[in-house]
Structure 1
Amino acid sequence: MKFAVFGAGGVGGYLGARLAAAGHEVHLVARGEHLAALQSDGMHVESVLGDATVDLPATDDPADIGPCDCVLFCVKAYDTRDAAADLSPLLGEHTAVVSFQNGVDNERWLADSIGEGHVVGGVAYIFSTIKEPGVVEHTGGPARFIVGELDGRRTDRIEALADALSESEGIDAVLADDIHVELWRKFTFICAQAGMTATTRLPIGGIRETDVSWGMYRRIMEEVSAVARAEGVELSEVTVDEWLDFARDLDPEMYSSLYYDLTHDNRMELDALHGSVVRHATDAGVDVPMNQAVHALLRPWADRNA
């Protein structure tokens, strides 16, 4: 298959390298110093599941690549609309554009720009980041990638994509029965992990040790789950308990990308996380006071960093 990775950072770079090592044609879209390093030295992946080095074509102009079978769309959520406007050179009649991003709105934003027929939902469970230009570091997580058509159909293209991912070393691929459930399931967890580590400026260990903070962590997830169900998403009743069990076993020093961006003066994905919860909750008539509190506390910092 011919792939384009639009946003070859921690998630996209990892996927691109693994797919290329499995024999697929992979093109990278990146920018800045990271792009320069990819063009001069190739992509290096340092992973707990095995390192990899691949020399792949990299560009900042999708027109250099042309139509693909699949585009892995891995930009930050706040860049979705602008980046979607640049996708047209990569699109053939049946091209799948798979969003591997934080949040539950990206697929709709993509569909508004390129048409729903091109959009595929995706969920990534991996801890990876750009260690330095040209180097992606995968430090943990199951490297599980869940994909699914928005309407739940088992199309030829989604099965081909799932097969390509499954056949690649270092990737655990899952074909979802209902990708909307999977999107909201992850969203439930990341809103709690991101919101609490960013507002307290503490890692998960400090939150677990403080009863009222651990209680808020749970309430954030309960609120997000309630919004999902109000919108008709069939999220399991045990979702919150499952994520709490997972969070209890996390490295006590683990933070979140929202915390990292806050403390490094980077643009933040607050609108795609707690801002999105508040918007969806308003439309659904659900009370979400914990998520509103996180959004209010971080709003000035998100505005400043923007």
Structure 2
Amino acid sequence: MKFAVFGAGGVGGYLGARLADAGHEVHLIARGDHLEAIRNDGLRLESVAGDTVVEVPATDDPAEVGACDAVLFCVKAYDTRSAAAELDPLLGDDTAVVSFQNGVDNERWLAEAVGDEYVCGGVAYIFSTIASPGVVEHTGGPARFVYGELDGERTDRIRRLDAALSGADGVEAVLADDVSVELWRKFVFICAQAGATATSRLPVGDIRESEPAWRFYRRLMAEVAAVARAEGVDLPDGTVDEWLAFARDLDADAYSSLHYDLEHGNRLELDALHGSVVRHAEEVGVDVPMNEAVHAILSPWAERRS
């Protein structure tokens, strides 16, 4: 298959490297020093599942790539709309644009730009980031990628994507029955992990040791789950308890990408996380005071970084 990876960071770079090693035609769309390093020395993946270096085409101009079988859309959520406006040269008659991003709104934003017929949903479970220009570091997580058509149909294109990802070493590939459930299921967890670690500036181990902080963590999850169900998402009843058990087993020094960006002076995905929870909650009439608090506390930082 011919792939374009739009955003060759922690998630996109990982997938691009694994798919290239599996023999697929992969084009990376990146920018700045990261792009130049990939062009000069290839993309280096340093991974707990095995290192690799791949020599693949890289550009900041989608027109140089042309139509693809699939576009793996992996930019930060705050760049979704601007990046979506550049997708047209990558689209053929049956291209799948698969969002592997944080949040539950990206698919809608993509559809507004390119049309519903192109967009698929995706969820990434992986701890990875750009360690230095041209180098993606995968430090943990299952490298599990869940995806599917938004209407749940098993189309030929989603089956081809499934076959490609399933055949790549270092990728746990899952074709979802209902990807909207998977999007909200992850959203329940990341809003708690991101919200608690970023507002406290402490890792999950410290949060677990504090009864009020751990209660706050759980309430963040429960609020997001309540919003999902009010929107008609068939979220499993045990979702919150399952994630709490998962969080209890996380390394004590685990933070979140939101905390990382806050500490390193980067733009924040706050609007796509807790801002989104607040908006969705207002639409369905659900109270989300814990998520409102996170949004309020971090909004001045998000505004400063924007």
**TM norm. shorter chain > 0.5:** yes
Tell me which residue corresponds to 1:148: 148
Distance in 1 between the 2:78 and 2:3 partners?
23
Q: What corresponds to 2:16 in structure 1?
A: 16
Give ranges in structure 2 of 5+ residues lacking alignment: none
Return the letter of the residue paired with 1:305: R
The TM-score, its normalising length taken from structure 1, stands at: 1.00
CA offset at residue 65 of structure 1? 0.3
Partner of 1:41: 41
- Superposed CA deviations along residues 24-79 of structure 1, whole A, max 9, x for unmatched, are 00000000000000000000100011111100000000000000000000000000
Q: Is 1:166 aligned to residue 166 of structure 2? A: yes
- What's the counterpart of residue 100 of structure 1? 100
- The normalised TM-score by structure 2 is 1.00
Q: What is residue 260 of structure 1 aligned with on the other side?
A: 260
Query: Aligned partners of 1:142 and 1:6: how far apart in 2?
Result: 22
CA shift, 1:256, in A, is: 0.5
Amino acid of the structure 1 residue aligned with 2:252: P
Query: Match of 2:244?
Result: 244
Please give the alpha-carbon distance, in whole angstroms, between the structure 1 residues aligned to 2:51 and 2:109: 34
Instruction: State the Cα distance separating 1:263 from its structure 2 match.
Output: 1.2
Paired with 1:175 and 1:293, the residues of 2 have a C-alpha distance of: 35
Give structure 1 stretches of 5+ with no counterpart: none
The secondary structure found in structure 2 opposite 1:17 is helix
CA distance in 1, matches of 2:128, 2:162: 21
Q: 2:235 matched to which residue of 1?
A: 235
Give the alignment's Cα RMSD to 1 decimal.
0.4
Code of the aligned partner of 1:300: P
CA–CA separation in structure 1 for the residues paired with 2:145 and 2:127: 12
Q: Paired residue for 2:303?
A: 303
Distance 1:133 1:301 in 2: 26
Residue type at the aligned position of 2:149: E
Shift of 1:264: 1.2
| 1:60-75 equivalence runs, <5 A | 60-75=60-75
Which residue identity does 2:134 align to in structure 1? G
Which residue number in structure 2 is paired with residue 180 of structure 1?
Answer: 180
| Per-residue CA distance 1:159-196 (angstroms, 9 max, x = gap) | 11011000000000000000000000000000000000
Provide the secondary structure at the position in 2 that maps to 1:273: helix
Once residues 178 and 269 of structure 1 are traced to their aligned partners in structure 2, the CA distance between those partners, rounded to angstroms, is: 25
Measure, in 2, the Cα distance between the counterparts of 1:279 and 1:16.
Answer: 33
> C-alpha displacement at 1:284, in angstroms?
0.4
Letter paired with 2:213: S
- Number of equivalenced pairs: 306
Distance 1:104 1:184 in 2: 7
User: Secondary structure of 1:170's partner?
Assistant: coil
Aligned twin of 2:56: 56
Q: Does 1:2 align with 2:2?
A: yes
**Structure 1: distance between partners of 2:289 and 2:131:** 36
Structure 1 counterpart of 2:121, which letter? G
One-letter identity of the residue aligned with 2:86: D
Q: 1:79 maps to what in 2?
A: 79
- Superposition deviation, residue 265 in structure 1: 1.3
Distance 1:201 1:145 in 2: 28
Give 1:305 shift. Answer: 1.4
Query: Which residue identity lines up with residue 41 of structure 2 in the other structure?
Result: D
Sequence identity (%): 73
CA distance in 1, matches of 2:105, 2:9: 20
Once the two structures are superposed, the pairs formed by residues 266-277 of structure 1 within 5 Å of their partners are 266-277=266-277
The SS at the match of 1:152 is coil
Residue 287 of structure 1, CA deviation: 0.3
What amino acid is aligned across from residue 104 of structure 1 in structure 2?
V
SS of alignment partner, residue 283 of structure 1: helix
SS of 1:23's equivalent in the other structure is: coil
Question: Cα deviation per residue 1:246-303 (whole Å; 9 max; x = unaligned)?
Answer: 0000010011110111111110000000000000000000000000000000011111
1:114 corresponds in structure 2 to 114
In structure 2, what is the equivalent of residue 197 of structure 1? Answer: 197
Residue 91 of structure 1: aligned partner? 91
C-alpha distance in structure 1 between counterparts of 2:193 and 2:146, whole Å: 20
For residue 239 of structure 1, what is the amino acid of its counterpart?
Answer: T
User: 1:282 and 2:282 equivalent?
Assistant: yes
SS at match of 2:27: strand
Alpha-carbon distance in structure 2 between the residues aligned to 1:282 and 1:93: 38
